[in-house]
């Protein structure tokens, strides 16, 4: 499914049974010359607008809390690939 053009350079950071966290540049209505690094979330193909996936942007403070919690979880499960993805998302 196509993703709304406000999201650029998107990478999947976490996927839990269809709950997907992405990291990328979010440029709301193309007003910010490429946007800023942001964390987004979508559930499968929801939310969407006109059959285009439109992930929600997570506010910065909440983004940090979510990513740190997921990092602790993946470290305890020794999931090296997931730890790398989340660490990269935190660094953005």
Domain locations along the chain:
7-91
pLDDT in tens, 70-81: 999 999 999 999
Indicate if the pLDDT at residue 49 is higher than 80: yes
Question: H/E/C letters for each residue in 37-74?
Answer: EEEEEEECCECEECCEECCEEECHHHHHHHHHHHHHHH
Is this structure's pTM higher than 0.95? no
Q: 23: which strand partners?
A: 11, 39
Residues 21 and 31: beta-carbon distance below 8 Å: no
């Amino acid at each position: 499914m196509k993703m709304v053009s406000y999201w650029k350079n998107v990478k999947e950071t976490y996927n839990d049974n269809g709950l997907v966290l992405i990291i990328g540049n979010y440029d709301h209505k193309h007003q910010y010359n490429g946007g800023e690094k942001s964390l987004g979330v979508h559930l499968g193909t929801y939310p969407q607008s006109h059959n285009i996936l439109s992930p929600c942007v997570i506010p910065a403070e909440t983004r940090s809390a979510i990513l740190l919690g997921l990092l602790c979880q993946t470290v305890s499960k020794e999931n090296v690939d997931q730890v790398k993805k989340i660490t990269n998302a935190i660094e953005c």
